[in-house]
């Protein structure tokens, strides 16, 4: 059986809701929807670009914990509360992925778990057979 590696951020909600920040099974890595929350506070309030940058740094850290990197990402899904901010969000996404160019989805949603959150991102990564 393939080992299942679970990564936690230590959030009090992880055991209550029953989720992990990231999971690696074999060469597949899934990173849960990630927002710009730090210690219960929203990072980059009112700024979709700053929230996106913070989120992608958090995702990068989660990937590294399972011996993966942003270059292993093959799909991103971006959930945004105001699609008119797509250029700000896209610019930050492009700073991390301009050469990697995973498939990407950006959809507008009614709301996220905190009204000050503008963006939530999840990623899917596949490591090469040697990784």
Which domains can be identified in the chain, with CATH numbers?
4-126 (3.30.1330.40)
CA distance 23 to 82: 29
Neighbours of 45 (CB within 10 A): 13
pLDDT at 131: 47
pTM for this entry? 0.93
Nearest to 67 by CA among 107, 10, 19, 126: 126
Over the chain (131 residues), what is each successive 10-residue block's mean pLDDT? 83 83 95 93 97 97 95 98 98 97 98 96 90 47
């Amino acid at each position: 059986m393939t080992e299942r590696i679970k990564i936690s951020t230590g959030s009090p909600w992880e055991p209550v809701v029953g989720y992990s920040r990231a999971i690696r099974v074999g060469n597949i890595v899934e990173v849960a929807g990630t927002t710009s929350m730090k210690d219960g506070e929203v990072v980059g309030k009112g700024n979709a670009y700053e929230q996106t940058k913070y989120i992608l740094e958090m995702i990068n850290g989660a990937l590294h914990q399972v011996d993966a990197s942003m270059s292993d990402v093959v799909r991103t899904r971006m959930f945004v509360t105001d699609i008119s901010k797509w250029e700000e969000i896209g610019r930050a996404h492009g700073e991390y992925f301009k050469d990697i160019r995973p498939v990407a989805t950006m959809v507008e949603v009614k709301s996220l778990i905190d009204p000050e959150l503008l963006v939530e991102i999840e990623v899917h990564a596949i490591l090469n057979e040697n990784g």
